[in-house]
Structure 1
Amino acid sequence: MGTPLGDFVRAKRDSIRPESIGLPRRDRSRAPGLRRSDLATRSGISVEYLTRIEQGRDRHPSGSVLNALADGLSLDTTEREHLRYLAKITGGACAAQPHPAPPPRTVRPAALATLRLLEPGVAMITNRAGDVLAHTTGFALLLRGAGLLEAAEPNLTRYVFTDPRARTLFPDWDRVADEQAFDLGLGPSLQSSLWLRTQLAPVAGPEFTRRLDRPIPPVRNALRLRHPTAGELRWDRETLELRGADAQQVVVFLAADEDTARGFERLRGGLRAVV
């Protein structure tokens, strides 16, 4: 049985062309990617140990081994952070099948106080299941009328895959769907991931299920939103991980260009005029 860590290492190894890292070009008749022996040599570990990691038979590699694998795979900063996170959840995985359960929606007072400091900007507190647990007034203004915040317990993953308005809001819907499905596989816990999968699979169908369990993180470029009055807006996203086992995050949206900054200012000006 594989593990999130092992699946990622194997998929990343398979995605690397040997010639891109200075190794001889592979015969086209052979399987693509690096051989285990190539990665083991580059990482300074044995082939046998690498095999145990990839097959999920070693769930507790040391920090030095993780660093060596990251070097051997030429991971960038984001991928290195992802590797460490996968090692954490792989090491804590229980052999028994967990019971699906929704993630907690309680937000600590200190996290809410941090969010208030970001007013009147665009920010939210979420978790990897996509729950929108708290948000700034700027976030509410940006998403007004889109349908996301109309639910009693807003969830971005559910919204993306089940609300037709999401395809209008997100011009790059496929990329956003890839992000949400990938993040669901990272927590907040295995129980909560299974719970939301069970909820969504019957109603979201193959657009959701075919995206599950992909080991390679999707590329996260600027997020495009199509606003009904402000037009197309582009946002960079900065994520602050909060301490705790609930995998909560503060996500701050920053205007990616001057047109977006001006468009959002017009939205805020219109709100002040109404008030």
Structure 2
Amino acid sequence: MGTPLGDFIRAKRDTIQPDSFGLPGRGRRRSPGLRRSDLATRAGISVEYLTRIEQGRDRNPSPGVLNAFADALDLDAAERIHLRYLAKITSGGCPGRARPVPPNRHVRPAVVETLRLLEPGVAFVTNRLGDVLAHTSGFELLMRDTGLMEGHPPNLTRFVFTDPRARTIFPDWDQVADERAFELWLGPSAETSEWFRAELAPVAGVEFTRRLNRHLPPPLVPLRVHHPVVEELRWHREKLELPKTDAQELVVLLPADDTTARSMDRLRRQSDRVLRAVG
């Protein structure tokens, strides 16, 4: 007897022509679409395990396996959400299971005072999930026209993987994406990171899921930001870990060259003129 999850995977597999994935055709077959062996290879699982899922003999695939299926079947965002819904009802839904507690988002007054002392520099407080919890006016000035600050709260990881503007704002998008995925692996806790990954994976897609569980840190390089007004800026990043109970870090962006420093000065002057005109 099948399950909603198994039926969906089998039906989706049957609609995909092998040549659309660069696989050779195999002549006339009784069943259309991808073979089980094709899908199993793309997903990195055994044919026997795939058979158990499609036939309803395994009802609890892990989030990692669901991500692998979504990538292997080239699902779009709506299909990824539907896949997770089918997995939930197939496994029984776990209605009494509590949602993991989100990380601490309270920024201590002493940390807020530290940010005040860093004005008019560019600095912010974040956690491993990428929430922007507090920031200087310099950071607001740098990022307010990029789209990042439109989130509630702003979240750098979500912005990088789900907002098309991020690929323009960050010319080295792959580097930034690798950094954000690696931060998730580091914490703040396994339960909280898993909760966030499960929330983000359906809408972020393969560019996010293929980066999960990479244990080697990406190289530390200057951050390039293509600003809508002053064009390219380059920053060195200093990260200061706050006490473990905070599960947060203070990030300071320092101009990596004179051009960036002059551009930020110009941006501040333009902002001051606008504020005086409004006043």
User: For this structure pair, what is the TM-score category when the shorter chain's length is used for normalisation?
Assistant: 0.5 to 0.7
Q: TM-score, structure 1 length as denominator?
A: 0.63
| Structure 1 counterpart SS, 2:225 | strand
Structure 1 unaligned segments of length 5 or more: list them.
1-96
Decide which moves more: 154-163 or 239-248. 239-248
Q: Shift in Å at residue 128 of structure 1?
A: 1.0
Partner of 1:123: 123
Query: Where does 1:39-118 land on structure 2 (aligned, <5 Å)?
Result: 100-118=100-118
Q: Distance in 2 between matches of 1:184 and 1:138?
A: 26
Query: Where does 1:178-193 land on structure 2 (aligned, <5 Å)?
Result: 178-193=178-193
* Paired residues of 1:161 and 1:204 also in contact (CA < 8 A): yes
Q: Distance in 2 between matches of 1:194 and 1:123?
A: 27
Query: Where does 1:1-275 land on structure 2 (aligned, <5 Å)?
Result: 100-275=100-275
Counting aligned pairs with the same residue, the percent is 63
Q: Distance in 2 between matches of 1:191 and 1:107?
A: 21
* Paired residues of 1:101 and 1:194 also in contact (CA < 8 A): no
Provide, for residues 80-115 of structure 1, a one-character-per-residue CA deviation record: whole Å limited to 9, x for no partner.
xxxxxxxxxxxxxxxxx9963321211111111111
| Structure 2 counterpart SS, 1:128 | coil
* Paired residues of 2:171 and 2:226 also in contact (CA < 8 A): yes
Q: Shift in Å at residue 195 of structure 1?
A: 1.3
Q: Which has the larger radius of gyration?
A: 2
Provide, for residues 211-267 of structure 1, a one-character-per-residue CA deviation record: whole Å limited to 9, x for no partner.
011111000200000011111000000011101334201100000000000011100
Q: TM-score, structure 2 length as denominator?
A: 0.62
CA RMSD of aligned residues (A): 1.5
Q: Distance in 2 between matches of 1:192 and 1:239?
A: 22
Structure 2 unaligned segments of length 5 or more: list them.
1-96
